[in-house]
Amino acid sequence: MNAAAPSTGLHYDAAQHAQRYQRVARLMPVVEWRAHYELIAAIEALKRERNAVVLAHNYQRPEIFHGIADFHGDSLELARQAARSTADVIVMCGVRFMAETAKLLAPEKTVLLPDLEAGCSLAESITPEDIRELRRRHPGVPVVCYVNTSAAVKSECDACCTSSNAQLVVESFGAPEVIFVPDEYLAAHVAAHTSVRIIPWQGHCEVHERFTGQEVREYRQATQAYVLAHPECPRDVQDAADYVGSTSGMLAALEREQPERAVLITECSMADNIAGAFPRTAFLRPCNLCPHMQRITLPAVRASLERLGPAIEVPDAIASGARRAVERMLELGRPRGP
């Protein structure tokens, strides 16, 4: 790949960027990739100047995921990386609850969220008062909250979880019943795999709830593709899929099955970002974009590093309880097996 260095005069490693382009070659023409070079070079220079690290969720745009991210993964992996980071500044290329989680685990560091409007419909579906009311209705019952919640909600809960370790966290209490918030469909998925009685909340992800089981059945019939669905999808979608699991679980299933064609029933960008790791699989994309994830752009990341803002803060009164819930999630980690 022949391309001129950016006009800024900033340090630019042409070989490195040529290598990165190979990861997205199936997704965009080289002309489009070249258009990102100057911003990527500027961000890399700012990262060195600020001693910053960029964490990117699997749902981020390919130019962020492959272009500037130092670490990427699902919510659990990003939380782990935030806790381990030796950088002075953490840039969260994700949504607000992820940035709050990073701040909980690295309170002494500056945590930047390039766009404060990058929220989450699930996180907005429940409040701390809702948790207190659930406790009043079900005294003594442990409360587990999905990581897609605000720090204020986490502070009212006994433990946090991700989709990859939700069942493990629920069963860790040894209780006959557990309150699980806020995702109704993830709660149903957990309930189907445990003897613990799950008391759910009726929150939904605006991206995943748009899929239908009929869509999945028709698409499989037309394409003969292997269908993987996230447990935030409605139950009829989960029932129609070949595999249901977290983003990390989907990757493990793809590695195991090596399908000729695959459909990921989740946010669009995930299929884009992992396509390079599965060159023998054709990824079909009947997907939905998360409007909040799409608010994170290269210009926004650059501006955030230049002004060291917007910076995320979690009040001390909330942080201690929320940190305890998140640390329990990290202590339990991922379930064993596929």
pLDDT in tens, the chain (338 residues): 333 333 333 455 667 667 777 777 777 778 888 888 889 999 999 999 999 999 999 999 989 998 899 999 888 899 999 999 999 999 999 999 999 999 999 999 999 999 999 999 999 999 999 999 999 999 999 999 999 999 999 999 999 999 989 999 999 999 999 999 999 999 999 999 999 999 999 999 999 999 999 999 998 889 999 999 999 999 999 999 999 999 889 999 999 999 999 999 988 888 888 887 898 999 987 778 899 999 999 999 999 999 999 999 999 999 999 999 999 999 886 554 33
Q: List the one residue out of 223, 277, 224 whose CA is nearest residue 247.
A: 277
Which domains, and CATH codes, for the chain?
Answer: 14-118+293-307 (3.40.50.10800), 128-197+315-332 (3.40.50.10800), 208-284 (3.40.50.10800)
State if pTM tops 0.85.
yes
What DSSP element (H or E) covers 32?
A: helix 30-35
Residue with tokens 């579906």: 125
